[in-house]
Amino acid sequence: MPGTEETAAARLSGVSAERSTRARVARLILEHGPITAVALGERLGLTPAAVRRHLDALLAEGMIEPRTARPRGQRGRGRPAKLFAITDAGRSAFEHAYDGLAGNALRFLAERVGEGAVAEFARSQVSGLVGRLQPEMRKVPVDQRVRVLAEALSADGYAASASKASLGGEQLCQHHCPVAHVAAEFPQLCEAETEAFAQILGTPVQRLATIAHGDGVCTTHVSPHRAVEPDAREREATRRAPERSRPSIRQQTIDDESSKETGR
């Protein structure tokens, strides 16, 4: 019946609009939270009742959580303001949404330009980390570099840690990977990251496990640092120095003959 079809279409349209608005509420909390319901309504142009409805739904889904904060300028008086903040589950939901967009972009790049372009893109993504840490890492003692790198990765959301490896060297672990779903399809992302670690630390590294391949943790073995070898000029100078200090064979022969004459 036409009327029934129109009613169903309108209902679906309403559900879609409701979800879209709810997503906007969640995104605003992610970007500007913790935030109050009043501030949300003002920013999105929603009535208090509409804001409350969306907040209740997000709370039930575990996407957000309530917090309390006492108004500024009041000490012990007044009703604490209720704030809403994104949860880890809510943040992960947004990360997966970005994964879809990133995956589509890399597939488009691979199809139009080639796999080499994906690898180049992956290296460009970690170039900022290399450029930021490599110069500073030269000032860090070699026995502390993996720890410093782990702290930098943790600040970027990778929940990284450093520890001694049982067979020598050190182990760098990343307990979270924001791009794991995309890296499962495009391993160039992991490869570029591994290359970046070697550049930053100044020693060979080997990736042992990745979250993208189903492992619980991204694990990288860092080889022990070796003494820096002198450059070619220094090696050549070192090699030639003893030669210059020793008399030539011809000179040694003349000196020997002179000693014989003197001894006669």
Let me know whether 123 and 26 are in one domain.
no
Reported pTM: 0.55
Distances (CA, A) of 191 to 112, 125, 196: 22, 12, 9
Give residue-wise pLDDT tens across range 126-176. Answer: 999 999 999 999 999 999 999 999 999 988 878 899 999 988 899 999 987
Say yes or no: 196 and 118 in one domain: yes
Range of the domain at 58: 20-71+78-86
**Which residues are bridge partners to 35 per DSSP?**
84
Residue 202 belongs to a domain with what CATH number? 3.30.1380
Does any domain span residue 227? no
Report the domain count for the chain.
Answer: 2
Same domain, 103 and 218: yes
Residues 110 and 31 in one domain: no
Write out the chain's pLDDT in tens, 264 residues. 555 545 544 444 444 567 778 888 988 887 776 899 999 999 999 999 999 999 999 999 999 999 886 555 555 555 677 899 888 788 777 766 667 778 899 999 999 999 999 999 999 999 999 999 999 999 999 999 999 999 999 888 788 999 999 888 999 999 878 788 899 999 999 999 999 999 999 999 999 999 889 888 899 999 998 754 444 444 444 444 444 344 443 444 344 444 444 444
Rounded to whole angstroms, the Cα distance separating 245 from 260 reads: 24
The answer to whether residues 216 and 148 belong to one domain is yes
Question: Do 161 and 43 share a structural domain?
Answer: no
The answer to whether 181 and 168 are in contact (CB under 8 A) is: no
Please check whether residues 82 and 104 belong to one and the same domain: no
Whether residue 97 contacts residue 50, with contact meaning beta carbons closer than 8 Å, is answered with no
CATH of the domain at 33: 1.10.10.10
